[in-house]
Amino acid sequence: MGKIPIAIIGATGIVGQQFMVALQNHPWFEIYRLVASERSAGKNYREALYHDGIFGWYCDEGLKEELLEMRVISMDEFKPRDVKIVFTALDSSEAKVIEPKLAEKIPVISTASSFRYFDDIPILIPGVNNEHVELIRVQREKRGWEGFITPIPNCTTTGLAITLKPLDETFGLEKVLMTSLQAVSGAGRTSGVLALDILDNVIPYIPREEEKVQRETKKILGRFTGNSIEFSDVQVSCTCIRVNVRDGHTESVFVSMKKEADVEEAKQAFRTFGKSLRELNLPSAPKEMIVVHEDPSRPQPRLDRDTYDGMATIVGRVRKDEALPNGLKYVLLSHNTKMGAAKGAVLVAELLSKFGFIEGF
Ligand SMILES: NC(=O)c1ccc[n+]([C@@H]2O[C@H](COP(=O)([O-])OP(=O)(O)OC[C@H]3O[C@@H](n4cnc5c(N)ncnc54)[C@H](OP(=O)(O)O)[C@@H]3O)[C@@H](O)[C@H]2O)c1
């Protein structure tokens, strides 16, 4: 089997750069087209990374010379049928217009929020809600598309949903209270957070973030009924805070369960979670979906965010909570631009390939 040609739309942004890293040596997929705005179109990738004379490569990893030399094109020049999958890393206002046009012809795996809340569109996390892929067939039939749109969750939802799933399976969820401490890269480059606002500071408000996390968590943990998703009835309430960290969202989570929650049983549920993902042998999957620390000073973004190349959710400080009925509390860390964005979207593409949704695989 030859490699499957793919395109990255929004290739020069924060998430776009992580897509380049996640795909440059991928065993199944080959980067075939790079698309960005008119600002970058016509330049090679290296030139397009300059903003006001400053080279804006943000990832720790380097990039192959041939990719730095690759020409960036505009949407007008891009022909969807040249590739088999499109990964989009666009602002939601751009994604809202661009993604449906592409989905008429080919699969679109999106990091934007524009289509997450439609009834016929799943929000996929491999290993958590694999069965929701079937909603793609409903979507195609309803919209008459040859392709489809599958968004990944908001980067703050990802780690929360991954850790809640084994707790739901073991004890049943009633209520979740979460406070996040979110990295600066989560705001992207274009709209971004000004250095002057975040240095030496904490900002207790991220526009629209809390509503997204609350809604997405209930959908991801919901049940696929055959033609739609019945949302989970868990109540989720959160506060999202921006902190002066480059990558890695930390979240302090309090959960009230249907049954009494034993701490050791909860840790065991975390540690063993992910069987349905491991069995698929996907190239971007972490060896363990959840890594549990006993050291009360973990997880820390600098120490732990790159575990399994940023694809694991790291949990620590698992304790009983006496204030909530059947309460448990813990701290989690999830890499927002790897599992929470680009490489997480690549993992979705791998899942869809295995499940027969990608032509040529
Ligand atoms: N950052 C995160 O941690 C994270 C995590 C999960 C999801 N997301 C979501 O991912 C998306 C991208 O975020 P980001 O942080 O990567 O944003 P970003 O750094 O601002 O990058 C935006 C990208 O979109 C391109 N672009 C803008 N208008 C375009 C157009 N009309 N046609 C083609 N390309 C266009 C830009 O190209 P130019 O360079 O040419 O302007 C750039 O490549 C957003 O929806 C965000 O909410 C982000």
pLDDT tens, residue by residue, 231-271: 999 999 999 999 999 999 999 999 999 999 999 999 999 99
pLDDT at 181 over 80: yes
**pLDDT recorded at residue 354:** 97
Over range 107-127, report the average pLDDT.
Answer: 98
For the residues 19-33, what does the mean pLDDT come to? 98
Please give the pLDDT value at position 249: 98
Residue nearest to atom 25 of ligand 1 (CA): 10
Please tell me the residue having the least CA distance from ligand 1 atom 40. Answer: 37
pLDDT reported for residue 162: 98
Distance 340 CA to ligand 1 centre (A): 14
Domains of the chain: 4-152+342-354 (3.40.50.720), 155-334 (3.30.360.10)
Containing 345, the helix (H) or strand (E) segment is helix 342-354
Strands in 148-151's sheet, in edge-to-edge order, are: 72-73, 29-35, 4-9, 85-88, 107-110, 148-151
DSSP notation for 53-75: TEE----SS---HHHHTSBEE-T
Range scoring the smallest mean pLDDT among 115-119, 172-176, 188-192: 188-192
The yes-or-no answer on residue 249 being catalytic is yes
Among residues 155, 240, 293, 335, the one annotated as catalytic is 155
Provide the pLDDT confidence category of residue 1 given band limits of 50, 70 and 90: confident
pLDDT classification of 18: cutoffs 50, 70, 90: very high
CA dist., res. 211 & res. 205, Å (int): 12
Q: If you average pLDDT over every residue of the chain, what do you get? A: 97
Q: What is the pLDDT of residues 43-73, one digit of tens each?
A: 999 999 999 999 999 999 999 999 999 999 9
Residues 6 or more apart in contact with residue 258 via CB below 8 angstroms: 171, 172, 173, 174, 326
First-last CA distance in the chain: 8
Instruction: Check residue 250 and give its pLDDT.
Output: 98
The amino acid at residue 356 is G
Average pLDDT over residues 139-156: 98
Choose the residue to mutate in 15, 46, 206, 209 for probing ligand 1, maximizing ligand atoms within 8 Å of C-beta. Answer: 15
Tell whether the model's pLDDT for residue 207 goes beyond 80: yes
> Which among 238, 240, 249, 293 is annotated as catalytic?
249
pLDDT tens per residue, range 281-333: 999 999 999 999 999 999 999 999 999 999 999 999 999 999 999 999 999 99
Q: What is the whole-number distance in angstroms between the Cα of residue 361 and the centre of ligand 1?
A: 28
- Cα–Cα distances (Å) from 185 to 105, 152, 188, 239, 304, in that order, read 32, 17, 5, 18, 16
Written as six digits, the tokens of 25 are 């040596």
**CB-defined site of ligand 1, < 6 Å:** 9-16, 35-37, 39-40, 75, 89-92, 94, 111-112, 155, 185-186, 188-190, 336-337, 340-341
What is the distance in A from the centroid of ligand 1 to the CA of 310? 20
- The torsion angles phi and psi of 300, rounded to 5 degrees, stand at -125, 140
